[in-house]
Amino acid sequence: MTRLVARRVLRTVPVLLGVSMLIFLSIRLIPGDPALILAGDRATGEMIEQLRTDLGLNRPLSTQYAIFVTRALAGDLGVSIRTEQPVTMELMRRYPLTLLLAGAAMLFSVAVGLPLGILAAVHRGRWIDKTSVIVALLGVSAPTFLVGIILQLYVAVRLGWLPVTGSTGWQHLLLPAISLGIFPVANITRLLRGSLADVLGEDYVRTARAKGLPESLVILRHALKPALIPAVTIVGLQFGSMLGASVFAEAVFAWPGLGRYLVQAIGYRDYPVVQGAVLMMALTYVAANATVDLAYGWLDPRIR
């Protein structure tokens, strides 16, 4: 297992180099002087010159990239054009909120998707199965921002049960987390329904039934574990893609996380922030996917 972990972690190194290079290059692709772009319109000539020396903008691209990586590794992602605060500090304030949102959404999707998938597989063809199919279909078809607005309209505005926007208490977390979690609910349900139905047809399940075990034990103790493997993979991969979708949930509910900050930064042409926020999200995405691979190896000894 240690070797597996080491190998998987090593594999992320070239990927991370590529990711940082893409983000580094993207700013250089914007037409205009990078010093001016990274310093902003309000910067004085002196500040721009300072930045030019700091980032090595007069030196070859490879040197500039080396400077960028060295600084990023030391936690220095530059200074926000709009607030003139260090980007790292600004990101760190918002990052936990995005993780909290994605974590809550994942919890919701597992809490709903798992039982729904199991019930659907066990009661194949009955109303609960048909409901799960419709839920799954709507769930994959309704984009996060649409689910968010519909929840906001009916639960917050009409019924007044939960706040419309904000981030001061757990009540504020519920609606964004649910809207972000709907898509994974659909995926988990669909996948678990399929894989559990397959496992329930296996011989050893029939043996377990034949020796008189109650059906609930047959499912929970014998059938569920192998059926969970594809579902776990999907949950993990969903966590990664939820980072992307969190941008929408945060926009609808004014949740002050990384995604909303990124979109605002694009509006202000605050490129150091854009660069930092994208880097942060990509790092998390890569880490989440590596974790999924490892969890997969742990659950299924065959692929180690």
Partner 1 sequence: MRIAATAERTDAAPAPARWWMYLRRDRAGLVGLVLLGGIIAAAIASPHITRYDPLEPSLSEAFQTPGGGHVLGTDQLGRDLFARVIAGARASLLSGIGALAISLLIGVPIGLVSGYAGGTWDDGLMAAVEVLMSFPGVLLAILAIAVLGPGQRNLILAVGLASIPVFARLVRGSTLALREQEYVTAARALGATPSRIAIRHVLPGCISPIVITAVLRIGTTIVTVAGLGFLGLGGDPALPEWGAMLSQGQEFLRRAPHIALVPGVAILLTVLSVNLFGDAFADALNPRLQPNRR
For residue 27, state whether it binds partner 1 (rule: CB under 8 A): yes
Torsion angles phi and psi, residue 86, rounded to 5 = -60, 135
Please pick, from the candidates 144, 187, 189, 195, the single residue that binds partner 1 as defined by CB under 8 A: 144
For residue 281, state whether it binds partner 1 (rule: CB under 8 A): yes
For residue 182, state whether it binds partner 1 (rule: CB under 8 A): no
Torsion angles phi and psi, residue 79, rounded to 5 = -120, 135
For residue 92, state whether it binds partner 1 (rule: CB under 8 A): no
Neighbours of 31 (CB within 10 A): 5
Q: Compute the least distance from the CB of residue 23 to partner 1, in Å.
A: 7
Q: How far apart are CA 116 and CA 218, in angstroms?
A: 18
For residue 294, state whether it binds partner 1 (rule: CB under 8 A): no
Q: How far apart are CA 187 and CA 210, in angstroms?
A: 32
The crossing angle, in degrees rounded to 10, of helices 224-253 and 170-200 is 150
For residue 197, state whether it binds partner 1 (rule: CB under 8 A): no
The residue assigned the tokens 């709009």 is 82
Q: Under 8 Å CB-to-CB from 205, ≥6 apart: which residues? A: 199, 218, 222, 223
What is the C-alpha R_g of the chain? 24
Interface characters, 147-166, with partner 1 (x: CB under 8 A) = --xx-xx---x---------
Interface characters, 221-240, with partner 1 (x: CB under 8 A) = -------------------x
Q: How far apart are CA 216 and CA 220, in angstroms?
A: 6
Q: Is 19 or 295 the residue whose CB approaches partner 1 more closely?
A: 19
**Residue ranges binding partner 1 (CB under 8 A):** 14-16, 18-19, 21-23, 26-27, 29-30, 137-138, 140-146, 149-150, 152-153, 157, 240-241, 243-245, 247-248, 251-252, 262-263, 266-267, 271, 274, 278, 281-282, 285-286
